[in-house]
Amino acid sequence: MTDLTRRQFLKITGATLAGSSLALLGFSASVAIAEVREFKLSRTTETRNTCPYCAVACGIVMYSLGDGSKNAKASIIHIEGDPDHPVNRGTLCPKGAGLLDFVHSPSRLLRPEYRAPGSDKWQPISWDDALGRIAKLMKEDRDANFVAKTPTGLTVNRWLTTAMLAASASSNEVGYLTHKVMRSFGVLAFDNQARV
């Protein structure tokens, strides 16, 4: 077995090559060593992720230029199915295969936007304003429509006038939290859908 206490990781330089099989057998490495001056290394990284489209949750590999160092801006150049992922074994559906365009799409939604009732225009809105508005409308609707008891006196504590459409590529943990939050409101209709 390899002697781990003795084994060193190899450095390969012009100097070490002078003591290598190559030089000792009478070959010259000088041209090879000199030409390396002309070469430049490029770096890419590969990152595993989960396709965001549907609940099948296929594994993807995202290829980016740059190694994530501070002064280099990373850019995703290619996305493909992860061959090692047990769900999709390297395959992707047409939607997943188009993920690169999704990432770089000029019309990609980058911040919350709001369209007023009756308007045909979307306007930017801050996260605070968006969440505040959603909470306010939910509370109004819940206060007006919450059903604590049926006419026959049966306790039901349900809220049927609002529904929730949750994410599809969620983990078990996110699914659990979604369930806890929405059921606590009394919402019956919510769906972690697989059909976008």
Partner 1 sequence: MQRILDPARIEAFAATSVPRIRLPDPASLFARRGQRLRTLAEGHSLGDYLRLMAAVADGQQVALDALRAALVAEQFAQQLGRQIELAHEHRMPLLQAAGFPRQERWRAILTELCTSIAGAPGFPAGVRSVCERIIASPGAGIETQADLLIAARTSGVDAQAAPFVMAALQVYWAAMTSSLQMSDVTQIDVPGVCPTCGTLPVSSIVRSDKRSQGYRYLHCGLCATEWHLVRITCSQCLTTEGIVYHSIEGGSAAVRAESCGQCHTYRKILYQEKDPEVEPVADDLASLALDLLMTEEGLHRGSGNPLLWQNTET
Among 8, 71, 155, 184, indicate the residue that binds partner 1 (CB under 8 A): 8
DSSP labels, 89-115: TT---HHHHTHHHHHH-TT---S-EE-
Q: Tell me if 115 sits within 8 A of 88, measured CB to CB.
A: no
Among 24, 116, 148, 154, indicate the residue that binds partner 1 (CB under 8 A): 24
For residue 159, give the DSSP letter.
B
Rule CB under 8 A: say whether 153 interacts with partner 1: no
Among 50, 54, 90, 158, indicate the residue that binds partner 1 (CB under 8 A): 90
Q: Minimum distance between the CB of residue 131 and partner 1, rounded to whole angstroms?
A: 34
Rule CB under 8 A: say whether 128 interacts with partner 1: no
Q: Minimum distance between the CB of residue 73 and partner 1, rounded to whole angstroms?
A: 16
Q: Tell me if 44 sits within 8 A of 68, measured CB to CB.
A: no
Among 75, 77, 87, 89, indicate the residue that binds partner 1 (CB under 8 A): 89
Alpha helical stretches, state H, 85-185: 94-97, 99-104, 127-145, 172-185
Among 45, 150, 171, 193, indicate the residue that binds partner 1 (CB under 8 A): 45
